[in-house]
Amino acid sequence: MPVRLIALACTVALLYFGRAFFVTLISAIIITFILQPFVLWFMKWKLPRSIASFLVCAMFVLLVYFSTLGLVTQASGLVDDLPSYGQRVSELIDGAADRLAELERGIAQMVPKRLQDQQPNAAAKKGRRLRAVMPPAAEANAPAPVQEVRIQQERSPLLNFLYERLETIYSVTLMASFVPFLVYFMLSWSDHMQRAFLSMFEGSSRGIAARSMESVASIARAYMAGNFVLGVILAILSTIFFVLLQVPYPLLVGPLSGFLSLVPYIGLPLALAPPVLAALPAYSKLGVYLIISGVVGTLHLFALNLLYPKIVGARVHLNPLAVTVALMFWGLIWGGVGLVLAVPIVAGLKAVCDNVTSWKPYGKLLGD
């Protein structure tokens, strides 16, 4: 038992300190499972696997590039409007400070007059004690305080954020640059890797391993494709609503709100953040923000309760307790990326458990 606990602790430590490597590798594997049917479709046209894999990877990279280019084009206009956003946020903060001061004055008026008189007396006594400690000569000869003037070049909050997280951004960018190459090699060498992997098993274990691989690939494709379709639906509906409401930058805010709504458990507040922040310089009435919150919340509940079980849940078969524990664990280990990868990882583990006879009780524990 102690050996198992030590092995478990070492595994958790390895996952934590090697999160950049494991996140990159698992992301590449999931993308490979998604793109595999397209490679097989090109191979039906008598194309070699290497060429078919290259074409699929190139199309995928171009899709990501043009999608990112569209978002950056929208975001460039948002950067130009940052001063107006800062002014609006300052007005809101000043208004909140004024209301807080009014609340403090109201509370002070409710305090009995006897208690209000004790506070100035206590402050005066404290001041007399401080003057008694310092001799009059020392107080008279004390040099005047020198006000230090520091001239510091001001940086924007965005630059400060990027500067403080430069190392993290560099490591994430470095690992992300390996994903296209990993996906290409996994697609082009998938037959070789599958044969090599199955050769490590003998007899009936080889069939179990083959079925487990196919189940994991099928669940990964179903989960990611279902989430993508659901995200596109939410993005289109959100964009149409934001255009009708005249929220600034709807082509940026709509897709962000739609896809962020799919993050488990914290999707609703994340989906509300982009439209609310975008509407700050344009609207000052509370009713507009209530309408935005109501519509985004309705879309989120509609997708979570009606569309998600039919598009995604029917393929994954995980119980809510297993999903919650998985989100807690992988979110703690890998942060925000762990929240995204938690469900496909646990669903893949369940698929393996369902195909291995001795592990089937664990699959039932995770299943619905």
Domain ranges of the chain: 18-74+178-200, 207-368
Taking the whole predicted model, whether its pTM rises above 0.85 is answered as no
Torsions phi, psi of 318, nearest 5? -115, 140
Residue type, 89: V
Torsions phi, psi of 181, nearest 5? -70, -40
Residue type, 317: H
User: What's the Cα-to-Cα distance from 235 to each of 126, 228, 288, rounded to whole Å?
Assistant: 62, 10, 20
d(CA 102, CA 278) in angstroms, rounded, equals 29
Strand partners, 318: 367
Q: Which residues contact 363 (CB under 8 A, 6 or more apart)?
A: 350, 353, 354
Angle at alpha carbon of residue 320, lines to 35 and 231, rounded to 5°: 40
Q: Which residues contact 54 (CB under 8 A, 6 or more apart)?
A: 184, 188
Torsions phi, psi of 367, nearest 5? -80, 175
CA 41 to chain centre: 33
Q: Are 303 and 233 in contact (CB under 8 A)?
A: yes
**DSSP, residue by residue, 283-303:** ---HHHHHHHHHHHHHHHHHI
**What pLDDT shows up at residue 125?**
52
d(CA 304, CA 310) in angstroms, rounded, equals 10
Q: Where are the alpha helices (DSSP H) in the chain?
A: 2-17, 19-43, 49-80, 82-110, 113-133, 136-141, 157-164, 166-188, 190-198, 204-245, 250-260, 267-279, 286-302, 308, 314-316, 320-334, 336-355, 360-366
d(CA 15, CA 34) in angstroms, rounded, equals 24
* Closest by CA position to 33, among listed 15, 60, 11: 60
**What pLDDT shows up at residue 318?**
79
Q: Are 175 and 23 in contact (CB under 8 A)?
A: yes
DSSP state of 367: B
Angle at alpha carbon of residue 217, lines to 211 and 220, rounded to 5°: 135
**What pLDDT shows up at residue 156?**
53
**What pLDDT shows up at residue 225?**
78
Q: Mean pLDDT in runs of 10 for the chain (368 residues)?
A: 80 86 87 87 87 90 81 65 62 66 72 55 50 49 48 52 63 80 87 83 81 82 81 88 84 85 80 83 76 86 75 71 83 82 85 84 82
* Closest by CA position to 350, among listed 222, 170, 234: 222
